[in-house]
Chain A
């Protein structure tokens, strides 16, 4: 069964017809437990797609179904991480990771009574991404990569069934990024949430996802789809084997043609 089901969804920013059309009849399905990557030229409405799926933005037209229900308000089953770690500077790393527990429904009531158990859970999660010993540090005492790891933990702590990642590794250096790819894969294999990963990095998409969706230039729409047929758990070296290289080349073709189409449309 599909967890996410978008049917000809359009979204226009602004209140009248003059606003920017960010999405145009985008259709996509994501199955439960699937890892999907969305790639496309910059400014193609990838972030808008995320906002529509999570209910942060209401679609102008079309239907958005998540776990069979129409999305009309922000969902509470979602974990999100962005390009900026967006950690709260007045909280320790541990308190930052535990933030969702103070808000999400079943947990926020239990948190007071079962604080120790929840805290242990958060510490385990931090240890899983290699942040053991940094729980009581403040975010600004951590490096950028460590902040991003903490941000991933925060997105996962309440065991969301849908994980939305908006270019979470884009501002990191290559080595940190590759390290975090593996960390993310491990987290995903351990819990199997549904993941929608928006990225500019085609290697990242090929390494991590079960399926890659290519978006056209603005107004965004899904123009191509490729299944990544590689065994799990995947290793970094796999991004250099012929299958992956061919896949990345193919995706690059799609995107450059999407860009030149946009250019010939007079954009």
Chain B
């Protein structure tokens, strides 16, 4: 293309080269950051000749991860299932309790202080008690994951229902709607954005719960694997366990986010900015 052609074209219409497009940059940038971080890490370890049992280089971590891939996968699956079970119990319980607490000021006043008190208990301190009750194994890990993750769900659902606009409630009540109908038609749909936002928090802390419980009282799972690895000074393997955990966490977070966008697109319309301009 000659120079005179370019002048005739409107400059805005020209497409930028692939790597300079904003969309590509947003896709690529996270990976660039991660790779740069690993590179920096690798460089620091090599430059200062840090011992592998203090801080292994990423290359050593990946090598260990590949070498132990089957035990890691096996244990990761265990952790994943433990977390998932605890998390889904938390979702069910958090939804029901959230609706109950959010829809009745009496229940709210009665239970909320107790719940807050309960939530301030460090859950790690409960694990030994769970071990006394249920023995070493999967059950304490499931319960710990549940205990850590139900609270954010409950609080968010309760908030979503309790902050229902009075006019909206009046519209339904003036039609003779029962309390349950008001919750069903307005309260629940309205609290869904809060609910899905809380899922993202809950799934992350559920992983924390199950892994902490596994390091204290389990014979399987990533937490257990890391504990065993560090006691044998297989520090690269312990780090590989950490890496796998964070990958699982990110994966579940993304799933929660996709579900959130699908279910409650109406609530994030202003963020997406792709819709017609309405009022307010």
Q: Which residues of A contact B167 (CB under 8 A)?
A: 82, 84, 86
Q: Among B165, B181, B185, B276, point to the contact of A141 (Cβ < 8 A).
A: B276
Q: How far is the CB of B244 from chain A (nearest CB, A)?
A: 38
Q: Is A189 an interface residue (CB 8 A)?
A: no
Q: How many residues of A contact B (CB 8 A)?
A: 33
B63 contacts A by Cβ under 8 Å:
no
B176–A90 touching, CB < 8 Å? no
Contact A139–B278 (Cβ < 8 Å): yes
Give the docked Cα–Cα distance between A75 and B173 (Å): 8
Q: Is the interface of B mostly helix, strand, loop or mixed?
A: helix
Cβ–Cβ contact A74 & B279, under 8 A:
no
| Cβ distance B200 to chain A, nearest Cβ, rounded Å | 20
Determine the residue in chain A with the shortest Cβ distance to B165. Answer: A86
Give how many B residues have a beta carbon under 8 Å from the other chain's beta carbons: 26
State whether A103 and B266 are in contact (beta carbons under 8 Å apart), knowing that A86-B168, A147-B279 are contacts in the complex: no
Q: Is the CB–CB distance between B168 and A141 below 8 Å?
A: no
Taking a contact as CB atoms under 8 Å apart, the answer to whether A158 and B170 are in contact is no
Are the C-beta atoms of A56 and B189 separated by less than 8 Å?
no
Q: Is B29 interfacial (CB 8 A cutoff)?
A: no
CB of A138 within 8 A of CB of B266, answer yes
Within the assembled complex, what's the spacing in Å between the Cα atoms of A55 and B175? 11
For B176, the chain A residues whose CB sits under 8 A away are 74-76, 103-105
- A102, A140, A147 — most chain B CB neighbours (10 Å): A140
Question: A88 at interface (Cβ–Cβ under 8 A)?
Answer: yes
Does B267 count as interface, using CB distance less than 8 angstroms? yes
- Seen from chain B, the residues whose Cβ lies within 8 Å of a Cβ on chain A are 165, 167-168, 170-177, 181, 185-186, 189-190, 192, 264, 266-267, 269, 275-276, 278-280
Q: A54-B174, A103-B176 are in contact. List 7 more A-B contacts (CB 8 A).
A: A75-B176, A88-B185, A90-B189, A90-B266, A100-B175, A103-B172, A138-B266
